[in-house]
């Protein structure tokens, strides 16, 4: 009985962790897509990939999950460049992009 309860709690925790990760990924995707559109860039593959996860304190001192997402973009359609989206909890902290070529 007690073993079953522990298993249920573990499975529920894993599901909630996965659900939170999916929500963070969706927020990162929308932020990156909006950022690329504002710079008149093309976000390639319509995808962000989780590259790292950890714990970090926010400005108020609360411990939050820190995630790093990678993405690719193009300025001319011929080259691929890399970008990184840093998230803390469900908030985008920064989006960094490699230097890229643009047409005049």
- Does residue 76 lie within any of the structural domains? yes
Domain span at residue 29 reads 2-97
Q: What is the arithmetic mean of pLDDT over 74-88?
A: 93
Q: What is the dihedral of CA 72, 50, 85, 70, to 10 degrees?
A: -20
pLDDT in tens, 18-65: 999 999 999 999 999 999 999 999 999 989 999 999 999 999 999 999
Residue 26 is assigned to a structural domain of this protein: yes
103 located within any domain: no
Is residue 102 a part of any domain in this protein? no
Q: How far is CA 10 from CA 3, 13, 19, 56, in A?
A: 11, 5, 14, 23
Domains contained in the chain, number: 1
């Amino acid at each position: 009985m007690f073993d079953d309860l522990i298993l249920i709690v573990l499975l529920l925790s894993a599901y909630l962790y996965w659900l939170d990760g999916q929500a963070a990924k969706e927020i990162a995707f929308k932020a990156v897509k909006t950022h690329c559109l504002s710079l008149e860039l093309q976000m390639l593959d319509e995808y962000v990939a989780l590259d790292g996860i950890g714990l970090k304190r926010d400005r108020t001192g609360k411990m939050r999950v820190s995630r790093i997402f990678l993405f690719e973009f193009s300025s001319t359609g011929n080259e691929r460049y890399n970008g990184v989206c840093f998230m803390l909890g469900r908030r985008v902290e920064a989006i960094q992009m490699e230097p890229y070529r643009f047409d005049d």
